[in-house]
Structure 1
Amino acid sequence: MLPSRHRLVPEIQGLRAVAVLAVLIYHIWPKILPGGYVGVDVFFVISGYLITGSLFKEFDGTGRIGIAGFYARRARRLLPAATLVSLAVAASIPLFPRAQWTDIANSLLASALYGQNWFLAAQAVDYLADDAKGPMNHFWSLSVEEQYYIVWPLILLPILHLTRRTRLSRKAAFGWFVGLIGLGSLAYSAWLTPLDPGEAYFATTTRAWELALGGALAVLPVGQALSQRTRVVLGLAGLGAIVAACLAYSDQTSFPGYAALLPTLGAAAVILSCGARSSWSAGWVLNSRPFQYIGDLSYSLYLWHWPLIVLYGAVTARAIGLRSGIALVLAAVALAHLSKRFVEDPFRSTRSSAPRTLMAGVGAIALLVMVGLGYMAWTSGNPDTIVARALPRGAIAMRDPSYDWSREDLTRVVPQPAMARQDVPSAYARKCHQNQGRSEVLSCDYGDPNSRLKIVMLGDSHATHWFPTFEEIARRHPIYFRGVAKSACLFSLEPIYNEALKRSYTECATWSQNVIEWLAREKPDVVLISQSPGYPLDTLEGMSAAWARLLAMKLNVQAVISTPWMPFEPSKCFMASTNWAKDCVADRSVAFKLDLTRAAAERVQVPTLDFSDHFCRPTDCPTVIGGASYTAIGIT
């Protein structure tokens, strides 16, 4: 069943084409193939099969595994094209809005060190993470595979050597080993996916079972005794499973978890079908010249297609249509062809020694790290250009009848647009803002705990927007302020549906109950509640019930109307616009949606604190007020 290390199996080359085409179509026309992202899972199974087979065959033939030689072969295969694409992305950074430069540089660093998947996993669980698509994001899957390439032979070698001292056969020992890792990883993936889909999607630990599945196919004699008819059925069923996942799955599917079994088992079935001799077999499609050609280009095509898509969106600010999509596909194929011919193939066939190859690989990684660090240093800029020399008036300027916000000088605002995403409340650095996966009550405390006036503000991230105001007040006045907030969480006794988690947000309801019990113990003088206006109307009942519980405890509850919700990201609007005073101003009716906080306050009859006129005029809401850009506006 194992192929020779140097002989390509046509069906597997064709399967690579299926995988990369699924990803390509999904990224360009997601409505056509809403589950095309499963192509990455197909790649994982293929990689596990080929790499494990190569290692096991070497050990079977020589009794050893040359770790340095293995790493050198991987470096020659992967690093040249990846380095070329990374440098191309680095060269294109000035074409992106300046506000994204730091993020792209960080992503470039993470990709160079093959930690992009963990970088994105951290962003996925961070409520402040930018939802913009970075040109290096697709390196997450390459990072997973590279981590596998590094660790797998180091684990496999002692397992195989152990069989020399026992009666257990090498295949049996490896089977038990792969089974334990695979089942453990699958169980962890199934457990984590509904709880934290962002981390589950990118984590190596939730994907290891897919690579282990391919490894098991390479070593265990699963397909050796299969009849020709069985191979034909397996091949067709496997392709059908992959296509079904591409069509039936979507961004709303809880993935990976158990859902990843459909495309991965489909890929495994296709691999088991290799060698079927029938005009009705999957090989009839997979072995065709178009699929073989795309399979040969699959690695470079995967590398090039995503940066092109992201760059197109950044430069044109347009959605991809039929013509532009076809043009992007042709451009990606052309670059992949050139990359394969002039970069991949020459480096793969080089006869350099393993030490020299590894040194060159380290040099390539070091080059990319230096480029990333250089961009980060450049975008950091001079501190004097990041903030104004004098403190801005901020929202208090709106009290001045003669104030004209349209005459604001963007070169002097605080913070500068390129640094706006770094201007966040200290609650995030202090990690006292609860994330989506936890339900414990965390509090951000400011001021003297012995002060006579104790204030608590609770809510979601929109409540956290107010924390810096009270942090400053607590410095100047004898109050003790405690901020209690949880990401995307409505203070309510009823669970809400969370789009990111793709399920009922039970952690939020549990947190709300914990907050009520915490307030019963703390007994603050004032409880302020501020929430995002973006929750559905049917959450009003549960929200009002939670507020009523506080009133029943004789607490002084007051509602604080949320800060404006801009329909665009101000910093990016500044960077893209030539007339910010016209383009970067939101209609007031849009910035202040139907506010459930106000509705709940009216229902349970508590006072409302509304500072909207400090942020907006009667009809619109500017993004710069009193020398402060929107993310820095305060009312102190």
Structure 2
Amino acid sequence: MDYRREIDGLRALAVLPVILFHAGFDLFSGGFVGVDVFFVISGYLITKIILSELEQDKFSILNFYERRARRILPALFLVMLVCIPFAWLWLYPSDMKDFAQSLVAVSTFSSNILFWRESGYFDTAAELKPLLHTWSLAVEEQYYVLFPIFLMLFWRLGMRWILMLLSVVFITSIATAQWAAYAQPAAAFYLLPTRTWELLIGAFAAFYLSKTNGRTNLARSVSEVGGWLGIALILFAVFFYSHATPFPGFYALVPTIGTVLVILFATQQTTVGKFVGNKGFVGLGLISYSAYLWHQPLFAFAKQRSLVEPSQLTFITLSVLSLVLAYFSWRYVETPFRKKDLVSRSKIFYGALLGTLFFISVGVIGHVSDGFKERFEIPASVYNSIQRTPREAECFGKAGIHVIEDWFCELGLDSATKDFVVFGDSHALSALPAFDSAATDLGISGIFAGTSGCTPFLGIYALRNDQLSHNCHALNKRVYQFVQDQKISTVFFIARWSYYTDGGYNGSNFSYISTDENGLANPDESRRAFEIGLENTITAYRSIGVNVIFLPQVPQQILSPVQIYSLASRSKEHKVNNFSVSKEEHLSLQRYVNTLFEKKGVSLIELDQYFCDESKCAVGNESVSFYFDEDHLSLEGSKRLIDPIREAINKRNRI
């Protein structure tokens, strides 16, 4: 197969945005599309090899998988092996258990399925997973289990039938991806059925060039325009896409079509080909696979070790380090293992088997031992306390447009007449046990309604990719109509308010909202929408005689409970309060929202006194955690809300 410098140069344009995106540089907000570029390149190269060998009647499935093993496994196993001791030293039990599970999943090329299943709202932050990036390798290998077998089986039918069948798969895949990007965004992102079409774009390019002897047979001016247009499309996606972009539906056509245009039109006879195929890009392209493998563990471990978000200088340093490590692993691991005279087929396959068994064994032990939690002296009562309401599956996530019956949960007594409504996002779910207990004690009945990441304000749209199934705008209207129809006297609004106005402590982890379904996903728009939504909601509910009460956001911890208790167990004083969030940080994060509540004159249930002293807001005490994760209360934590909630309901009854 003829070597094309442009392909290696294109790899550099794929890996650098991915690294800089994961490093957190806002300029590269769409850098994740580098993976899509890789998919198209991979689909093109592998299809070109298979077609060439099928045409010469030399294709062997054993040889194919041997090449894949030589290409993928040596560097991958090296990175996994290096990660294990650092995970042992630095990862807390829950994170270590996740890491152990990922060792098994990566070894069996199913990590995309694992990370999809872990991608729920309450999961550990994705950027803390050292092997998160291996999901794309799993997608490719799953594809290459099926694709060569398909070509072998249908080769005798001829190229026309093969292309017709692949076209059906392509259309089905991209249509599914477009639907899932809104209805099931996590599945759309991670799973093979919604990514197959991207690999097939590259495959179609290989089919086309195989029939034209690698030439497009077009004028040079057309090739120049086509190639530069391809570069422009890739760069547009890198710089203008973001987390809020529904992906990988039709939006993914931009970087993937851009990639295939470069493949088709960029040659060493064109300026675009010389640009992409310059010595610097080619050098980076050669080490791109190893660079991709190294960067995520470096970033993840740096974040795990730091109590605050590492600086940009740290990420720049780690980005450079990933390239340095990539060069050495490319030269001393990747390259030697590709040479059959140095490493025989039997050694490759035996090595693959032994390596797979080793990592699976370590992973299983890590899972069974709950992340080797004996490394830390944390009381069993603390682990037992880190749990949420058992009614979560029953009561949560019932959005406003699909569920017709039983879309809310009853609280307190079983009565046809409802005295109050609890409405909000996942923080409302955390408070559900307290409302249930208080209502039962007072002999009244209420309901709970809510779903994750939804500001419970009228006229507000959540700019999330899951709004086809979890429609916040529709749910907010439905709750209002229910309150009006049932003549409910009191509504409690509960949410992670700063999530929609400030994000987290470092400004990241923002859940953007807008008054427009297609609004801009940025902090200014989100704050504007929050103010408008708050005003509209208060006015609308009060106009129908409803008493509106807000629960302020509970103090948000900087670290998870297990992390805090783990740090405390290794400190001299063994005090969890030392590692809990300071009251000053807590008040600073929520100052904007609290000031707005005060300005609007909303009725608030004060909570700080139940969690904070003059300097710290405790994650828990020595025997139990008040938190489930950094910002959601556990069952034990929710118990601390029973008294203020009972008092608020009693006060309402006295009015």
Q: Same fold (TM over 0.5)?
A: yes
Identity over aligned residues, as a percent?
A: 26
Counterpart in the other structure of 1:332: 322
Q: 1:287 aligns with which of 277, 280, 283?
A: 277
* Contact kept in structure 2, 1:117 and 1:144, CA below 8 Å: yes
1:21 equivalent to 2:16? Answer yes
Offset, 1:110: 2.9
Aligned to 1:136: 131
Q: Residue 96 of structure 2 contacts residue 372 of structure 2 at CA under 8 Å; is this kept in 1?
A: no
Structure 1 contact 41–264 (Cα < 8 Å) conserved: yes
Other-structure match for 1:432: 395
Which residue number in structure 2 is paired with residue 84 of structure 1? Answer: 78
- How far residue 580 of structure 1 moved from its aligned partner, in angstroms, is 4.2
Map Cα deviations across residues 510-541 of structure 1 (whole Å, 9 max, x no partner): 12333355567888897654333335222113
SS in 2 for 1:174: helix
The equivalent residue for 2:433 is 468
CA spacing shift, 1:448–1:322, aligned 2, 3 Å? closer
In structure 1, the residue matched to 2:193 is: 205
Q: 1:141 to 1:61 in 2, by over 3 A?
A: same
SS at match of 2:582: strand
Q: Tell me if 1:120 matches 2:134.
A: no
For normalisation by structure 1, the TM-score amounts to 0.79
Distance 1:591 1:415, change over 3 A: farther
8 Å CA contact retained: 2:42, 2:202 = yes
Please state if 1:297 is matched with 2:264. no
Match runs of 1:382-397 below 5 Å: none
AA aligned opposite 1:17: A
Q: Does residue 1:624 correspond to 2:620, yes or no?
A: yes
Deviations 1:473-532 (A, max 9, x none): 79999776653321122333312343x449899811212333355567888897654333
- CA gap 1:359/1:452 in 2 versus in 1, 3 angstroms: farther
Assess, with a 3 A threshold, how the Cα gap between structure 1 residues 474 and 147 changes in structure 2: closer, same or farther: farther
User: Is it true that 1:490 corresponds to 2:419 in the alignment?
Assistant: no
In structure 2, what residue type is equivalent to 1:559? I
Q: Does 1:171 align with 2:159?
A: yes
CA distance in 2, matches of 1:336, 1:128: 30
User: For residue 66 of structure 1, what is the aligned residue in structure 2?
Assistant: 60
Q: 2:155: which partner in 1?
A: 160
Query: Deviation of residue 596 (structure 1)?
Result: 9.8
Q: Matches of 1:585 and 1:413 in 2, distance apart?
A: 23
Q: Is 2:365 the partner of 1:374?
A: yes
CA drift at 1:143: 1.6
Render the CA deviation track for 1:165-203: whole Å, top value 9, x for unaligned.
Answer: xxxxx3322322232222332233333334554443333
Q: 1:55 to 1:465 in 2, by over 3 A?
A: same
Q: In 1, Cα distance between the equivalents of 2:400 and 2:105?
A: 24
Contact residue 182 and residue 468 of structure 2 kept, 8 A? no
Aligned letter for 2:88?
A: P
Aligned to 1:262: 254
What letter corresponds to residue 290 of structure 1 in structure 2? G
Please give the residue correspondences for 1:236-635 in structure 2 after superposition, counting only pairs within 5 Å: 236-278=228-270, 281-316=271-306, 324-350=314-340, 357-358=348-349, 360-379=351-370, 411-412=378-379, 414-416=381-383, 423-428=387-392, 430=393, 432-434=395-397, 440=403, 442-444=407-409, 449=414, 457-469=422-434, 482-498=447-463, 500-501=464-465, 507-516=471-480, 528-534=492-498, 535=500, 536-544=530-538, 547-548=541-542, 551=545, 559=549, 561-562=551-552, 564-566=554-556, 568-571=558-561, 572-576=563-567, 578=571, 580-587=576-583, 589-590=587-588, 594=593, 609-617=605-613, 621-625=617-621, 627-631=623-627, 632-633=636-637, 634-635=639-640
Note the residue ranges of structure 2 that are not aligned, 5 or more in a row: 501-529, 628-635, 643-655
Distance 1:121 1:521, change over 3 A: farther
| Cα distance per residue 1:106-162 (max 9 Å; x no partner) | 33333333232333333444345535431111112112211211122233333334x
Number of the residue aligned with 2:513: none
Q: Which moved more, 1:505-514 or 1:133-142?
A: 505-514
Structure 1 residues 589-610: Cα deviation after superposition (integer angstroms, max 9, x where no partner): 347653599779966xxx7655
1:194-233 aligned at under 5 Å gives the runs 194-220=182-208, 221=211, 223-233=215-225
In structure 1, C-alpha distance between the alignment counterparts of 2:450 and 2:182, rounded to whole Å? 22
Partner of 2:645: none
Counterpart Cα distance in 2 of 1:462 and 1:26: 29
The offset of 1:51, in angstroms, is 1.2
Q: Is the 8 A contact 2:30 2:242 kept in 1?
A: yes
Query: Cα deviation per residue 1:452-472 (whole Å; 9 max; x = unaligned)?
Result: 988753322111112233566
SS in 1 for 2:422: strand
Residue 245 of structure 1 and its aligned partner are, at CA, apart by 2.9
Q: 1:316 to 1:415 in 2, by over 3 A?
A: closer
Q: 1:561·1:598 contact (CA, 8 Å) conserved in 2?
A: no
Taking structure 2 as the reference length, what is the TM-score of the superposition?
0.77
Q: Which residue of 1 aligns with 2:649?
A: none
Name which of structure 1's ranges 435-444 and 148-157 shifts more when overlaid on structure 2: 435-444
Which amino acid is the alignment partner of residue 244 of structure 1?
F
Q: Is the 8 Å Cα contact of residues 228 and 276 (structure 1) preserved in structure 2?
A: no
**Which amino acid counterpart does residue 97 of structure 2 have in structure 1?**
T
Over residues 65-123 of structure 1, what are the superposed CA-to-partner deviations in whole Å (9 max), with x where a residue is unaligned? 53343223212221221111112112210343415222322333333332323333334
User: Is residue 30 of structure 2 the alignment partner of residue 38 of structure 1?
Assistant: no
Contact 1:436–1:487 (CA under 8 A) maintained in structure 2: no
Distance 2:248 2:606 in 1: 44
CA distance in 1 between counterparts of 2:29 and 2:330 reads 29
Change (3 A) 1:626 1:381: same
Count of paired positions: 585
Inter-CA distance 517–39: structure 2 relative to 1 (3 Å threshold)? same
Residues 560 and 28 from structure 1, CA distance in 2 versus in 1: closer, same or farther, beyond 3 angstroms? Answer: closer
Q: What amino acid is aligned across from residue 331 of structure 1 in structure 2?
A: L
CA-to-aligned-CA distance 1:216-270 (integer Å, 9 cap, x gap): 0011247542344433433333223323332333444444333322221221111
> Partner letter of residue 428 of structure 2?
A
Q: Could you tell which deviates more after superposition, 211-220 or 87-96?
A: 87-96
Taking the aligned partners of 2:59 and 2:447, their CA distance within structure 1 comes to: 59
1:450 is displaced (CA, Å) by 6.9
In the alignment, the residues of structure 2 paired with residue 307 and residue 199 of structure 1 have an alpha-carbon distance, to the nearest angstrom, of: 23
Counterpart AA for 2:609:
D
Contact 2:98–2:371 at 8 Å: present in 1 too?
A: no
Q: What's 1:191 paired with?
A: 179
Residue-by-residue CA offset, 1:296-338 (whole Å, 9 max, x unaligned): 2111121112212222333355656575445424432332222
Q: Contact 1:544/1:600 (CA < 8 Å) preserved in 2? A: no
Instruction: Note closer, same or farther for the CA distance 1:57–1:375 as it changes in structure 2 (3 Å cut).
Output: same
Amino acid at match of 1:256: P
Residue 214 of structure 1, CA deviation: 0.2
Residues in 2 aligned to 1:318 and 1:489: alpha-carbon distance in whole angstroms = 27
